């Protein structure tokens, strides 16, 4: 698709596609983002358009898929808060504030096996996101979350055992 054809397609179909997406998203900002993404995908993958339907129908199919992807992504982000809400984390954070307790916790951390120790330290002391921690280890964000959670449980168990 040449530049002139792309511009013409954008000018003739933008408002129609935007209106369609607005009925799905019911949010102006989200509709604008998805519409822009739709046209970007259409321009970069125009070779997939077989011409069996109208351009508008093709664009709406792309928009619908982009909306579904966006909804799934938002759903995952809402289900997995960046900071765990468990009481264990609060107890640990309060314990770290006391210097003596902090030293004992560091001793327990030092004896913890890898990768739990490093993941915990990167998260708590390095203040890295789970995505960043996963990237450091060449793993997924989910792996980093699970490993961090297990490290917290192991630390809590050792703290209870040592009455810290």
User: How is domain 87-161 classified at the CATH fold level?
Assistant: Arc Repressor Mutant, subunit A (1.10.10)
Residue 43's H or E segment, with its range, is: helix 28-44
161 pLDDT more than 70: yes
pLDDT in tens, 120-149: 888 887 788 888 888 888 989 899 999 999
**Domain 3-79 carries which CATH code?**
1.10.1740.10
> Which of 1, 89, 2, 98 lies closest to 48 in space, CA to CA?
1
Per-residue pLDDT at 89: 57
- Provide the residue ranges of all domains of the chain, joining segments of one domain with +: 3-79, 87-161
Q: Of 47, 51, 58, whose CA–CA distance to 17 is shortest? A: 58
Judge whether 3-79 and 87-161 match in fold: no
Q: How far is 68 from 63, CA to CA, in rounded Å?
A: 9
Q: How confident is the model at residue 37 (pLDDT cuts 50, 70, 90)?
A: very high
Alpha-carbon dihedral angle through residues 33, 38, 44, 45, given to the nearest 10 degrees: 150
Q: By C-alpha distance, which of 69, 68, 14, 4 is closest to 40?
A: 14
pLDDT, one tens digit per residue, over 85-133 is 555 555 666 555 567 777 777 788 888 888 888 888 888 877 888 888 8
How far is 82 from 132, CA to CA, in rounded Å? 12
pLDDT at 50: 59
């Amino acid at each position: 698709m040449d530049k002139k054809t792309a511009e013409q397609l954008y000018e003739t179909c933008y408002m129609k596609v935007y209106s369609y997406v607005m009925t799905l998203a019911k949010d102006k900002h989200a509709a604008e983002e998805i519409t822009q993404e739709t046209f970007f995908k259409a321009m970069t993958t125009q070779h997939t358009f077989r011409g069996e339907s109208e351009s508008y129908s093709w664009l709406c199919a792309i928009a619908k898929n982009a909306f579904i992807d966006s909804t799934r992504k938002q759903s995952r982000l809402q289900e997995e808060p960046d900071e765990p809400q468990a009481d264990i984390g609060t107890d640990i954070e309060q314990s770290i504030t006391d210097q003596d307790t902090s030293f004992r916790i560091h001793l327990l951390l030092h004896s913890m096996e890898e990768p739990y120790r490093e993941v915990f330290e990167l998260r708590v002391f390095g203040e890295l996101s789970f995505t960043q921690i996963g990237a450091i280890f060449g793993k997924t964000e989910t792996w980093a979350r699970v490993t961090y959670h297990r490290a917290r449980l192991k630390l809590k168990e050792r703290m209870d055992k040592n009455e810290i």
